[in-house]
Structure 1
Amino acid sequence: MGWRSKLESGSPQRDPTPLYVATAGLLLSIGSYAISNEGVSGTLFGSGLITAGFCIVYWFANPGQGDD
């Protein structure tokens, strides 16, 4: 029973929202290949990758507020 209490009261639960936004950014980057306009396609690709990267870094750096 000792390990169970450590798991339940251990680290705070992280918010999954940044991971959802990172997934959307990656999907936007993948979807940019379907756009024929090179400028718009490059903009969507870059912004999707930047958004995904920022969200992943934010998710790792911010352990979340598990205390209610």
Structure 2
Amino acid sequence: MFLMPNLWTGSQWKVTNKGVETIDNRYFIEKSRVHDDEGGQWTWEDQMDEKGWVDMADFRRALAFARTKWPKK
């Protein structure tokens, strides 16, 4: 099995060449979707905060890193 190298690793979230995901691979956001919520009423932060199990500080850092890595076109 080939493991994707981590570009950034936090306590609960990681960023790989494919996107943002939990370290335990429980939740995944494809890199093409990291900007989906910008400018709208719905945000990734809103969705993750509703889940209850998400370390929001770590998620925000992962998402910020991913958005810098893959700027909006």
- Relative to its length, the structure with more strand (as a share) is 2
Q: Could you state the TM-score of these two structures normalised by the residue count of structure 2?
A: 0.31
- Relative to its length, the structure with more helix (as a share) is 1
